[in-house]
Amino acid sequence: MWTGLQDPYHTELGIGVPGQNKNAQKNAEDELILFYGDFALRSGAYEVTVEYESDYDGSQSAENISGYMDIIAEKNGEALKAPRIFLRDGMREHTERIWLRSGGDADDLELHVWYGGTGKLILNRVTIKESVLYRFVRLGGFFLFFAFADILYLCFAGNGIVQVTEETKWKIVCLGLIIFLSSITCFTDFLFDGHDMGFHLERIYRLSESIRSLQIPQRIAFGALNGYGYANSLLYGDAFLYIPAVLYCLWIPLQTCYQLYVIVVNSFTCLTAYWCFKQISRDWRIGIVGSCVYTLSAYRMVNILTRAAVGEYTAMAFFPLVCYGFLRIYQKKRGDDIRLSECMPLIIGLTGVVESHILSTEMVMLFLAAAAVIFWKKTFEKKRFVALVRAAVMTFLINLWFLYPYLCTYFGMEMGVQNLGKNIEKYHAYPVQLFGDFSPTVTALTTEGGMQGEMPLTVGAGLALGIVLYLVCVIKRDSWELKENVHYRQAGIFAVLSAAAMFFSSSLFHSGNLTGRCGIAGILWGALQFPWRMSAMATVFLSFLLVFCLIILREKKGDKLCFAAAVAVLAPGLLSTWMYITDFADAAEEIRVYSYGNETQDPVACEEIAPWFQLKETDNTLTFVRTPLVDTGVCVLSEVSREGGTYAVDCANENGESARIVLPVYHYDHFHAYDKEHGYEFAVSTGENKRIAVELPAGYTGTVLLKYEVPLTFRICEGISFFSFIVLGVFMRRRKRDGYAYIMPCLRLLWGRKG
């Protein structure tokens, strides 16, 4: 541990002494007030804590910054990952993380403190403490890397140590290249800034906070919005974001956590798509083609790069499982038994979508419901209907821990998300955009001004050529005798679904007529925000369409023509995707986000996005100030402190009657106020800007504790979901007939006699 501001130091400008109170008028440029040079740190991760006092203009608003601190390395600056530390009003200390990469020991580190020229800035203490945990994490990373390299060596150059067929080697190479190309922008020492990047980095950081305070699962991000709280976890699935959040808890830089998450999602998307398409075609080569066109599809890559739409591209990883699972159930002949294992792709797929992105869930359920109605004769066949009900019930139970609080919040509180759906018609895509090429534009979102400056909204050249391939099959239907061909029929189903999805996403569909007049249907449609989201559904449907067309070609014309068609589809698709990636990398803004709180963030994070997941009619500009509001006669004796979901403040009511103190915390449901010493509860109400107001009795002096208490019903739902997940795992471990009956006799009512 290194502690500064207590040893002599060199000051270039000859200003002050350690801890000096620096008062000055505003200068034209920032002024260096402290220089501490030539201290040494070995490679590793460190926590930097700055204790200071700041008063910019007396308002104590976190919007005001009196100065900032930089840590730099003169000789090997690239080895140091250190965010700028801003010294904001309203705070007494600030903690950040810095890293020195492996082999990057530094003995010439310098600490610079800059004063902005307005108000007062007192720097009391700087502490730098190493994280020993990071050393073990880094060692584990090296181990995994070399283990992976050894596996590749044994597979491709092991001299027969491990028997690997040529076919397996081709699979590894092809799937590896797909994952690498889709993730290539992650191999940088910075992030490419997307539309929602700041919002999702905020989510990851707040989840890491909840893990460290053992608040799992997170319901309210208590530290967000300068401590006012943010209810995104009640309305937006966080389950998969625990992956980067845990990595951040292990002291991996925040931007690296995000990049690793993208690689994991791309890998899962590639492998699940390959598995689904291989199961359908019974041909690993067609499975590779299908995985390639889907993983590197235009809309999916735009979600990853231009939009940084974490929830949506995570949900898209499960779309192939949903389609395959639904198709598998409907392929069964009348009267055939449908085992639990045959429902698993649908259950896993739906669970993944629900836990990733609620709006994608809405789109998926819309098309599943439409397909069930269209094929109503098959739907209501007894065994098929029972299988669908089983899958739906199990999916609901597994996700009950999220769905029940979501429904309680959406219908029980006045949330900003309820305002979605107004004037969404301007977010359609024109047909020329759907079938156009990529564009390097990375900023625009709307079409209200036409197409100029709009981000790419195309389905991509590869999938568009898949439509052409299907038209060839339609023309050749009679000569190829496809009228009774099951794959031709399935291709037709996905062609209709693709056309419907593209129609709904295009300007040909007038959303305003639906959202303005059709009650519940209009509200649900309006909740999508952007009709061009339907391109996600079009992407997976077109991928299945292409796969079925390749199967038909293989059956009717042999492997050579099937291979030629695959190349004809892949070549322009891969070329356009690669051009988009390189254009994006050239045009996008580069940001470095090592830890939370650097120059890309502020205490009121994502001010333009936050209202969707917080209380209606709140003004986030007022959250810069954390000073409690009080009635006459009430004295606040301390600052409002927070530990996890518990806030504390010392106060005294010198009135002869009850009075209020309005705390800097938004009034979400399930907050309760208590006296710290005696434990009795105070009444709470909603005060200014939807803040929590605590009623203090006459003559009260003490510490008020404000706690968020998770309702018992939420905990019960968590238990049900956990139990359902365990039961599902037991079922998959026991394939024998009636092997699960020992768990609970009543399960037979749900699953029947065959598992």
Tokens of 587: 């045009």
DSSP states of 389-429 as a string?
Answer: HHHHHHHHHHTHHHHHHHHHHHHHS-BGGGGTTSS-GGG-B
Instruction: Say what angle helices 254-281 and 284-295 make with each other, to 10 degrees.
Output: 140
Residue 394's region, left for phi above 0, alpha for psi from -120 to 50, else beta, is alpha
pLDDT at 20 over 50: no
Nearest to 421 by CA among 586, 564, 531, 540: 531
Band the pLDDT of 12: cuts 50, 70, 90: very low
Average pLDDT value for residue range 496-519: 81
Neighbouring-strand partners of residue 110: 72
Strands (E), 480-583: none
Sorted by sequence, the CB contacts under 8 Å of residue 281 that are 6+ apart come out as: 287, 290, 547, 550, 551, 554
pLDDT tens digits, 698-738: 888 889 999 999 999 999 999 999 999 888 877 776 654 44
Q: What is the pTM of this model?
A: 0.90
Residue 675's H or E segment, with its range, is strand 671-675
pLDDT at position 598: 44
- 510 pLDDT band (50/70/90 cuts)? confident
Q: What average pLDDT does the segment 649-654 reach? A: 86
Task: Identify which of 244-258, 434-448, 585-599, 739-753 has the greatest average pLDDT.
Answer: 244-258
Residue 419 pLDDT: 63
Helix (H) or strand (E) holding 148: helix 132-157
Asked if the model's pLDDT at residue 16 lies above 60, the reply is no
Measured distance CA(366)–CA(259) in Å, rounded: 32
Between the alpha carbon of residue 711 and those of residues 201, 404, 409, 646, 716, the distances in Å are 28, 11, 12, 15, 9
Residue 440 has pLDDT above 60, yes or no: no
Give the pLDDT of residue 198: 87
Distance CA 289, CA 543 (A): 9
Where does CATH 2.60.120 sit in the chain? 2-130
**Could you tell me the pLDDT band of residue 295, with boundaries at 50, 70 and 90?**
very high
Buried b (16+ CB within 10 A) or exposed e, 452-471: eebbbbbbbbbbbbbbebbe
pLDDT at 559: 87
474 vs 15, higher pLDDT = 474
Q: Quick one: pLDDT at residue 519?
A: 64
Q: State how far the Cα of 495 lies from the Cα of 497, in Å rounded to an integer.
A: 5
Band the pLDDT of 501: cuts 50, 70, 90: very high
pLDDT higher than threshold 70 for residue 218: yes
Instruction: Report, as an integer, the average pLDDT of 12-31.
Output: 38
Average confidence score pLDDT of the chain: 83
For the chain, residues classed under CATH 2.60.40 are: 625-708
What was the pLDDT predicted at 15? Answer: 29
From 161-165, 553-557, 643-647, the region with the lowest mean pLDDT: 161-165
How many angstroms separate the CA atoms of 204 and 211, rounded? 11
Looking at the domain covering 2-130, what would its CATH class be? mainly beta
What average pLDDT does the segment 508-534 reach?
Answer: 75
Residue with structure tokens 């397996």? 168
Whole-angstrom Cα distance, residue 78 to residue 80? 5
3-state secondary structure 172-227: HHHHHHHHHHHCHHHCCCCEECCCCHHHHHHHHHHHHHHHHCCCCCCCCECCCHHH
Nearest Cα residue to 400 out of 135, 722, 66, 656: 722
Would you say 468 and 310 are in contact if contact means Cβ atoms under 8 Å apart?
A: no
Distance CA 746, CA 511 (A): 46
Domain 625-708, classified CATH 3.30.450, yes or no: no
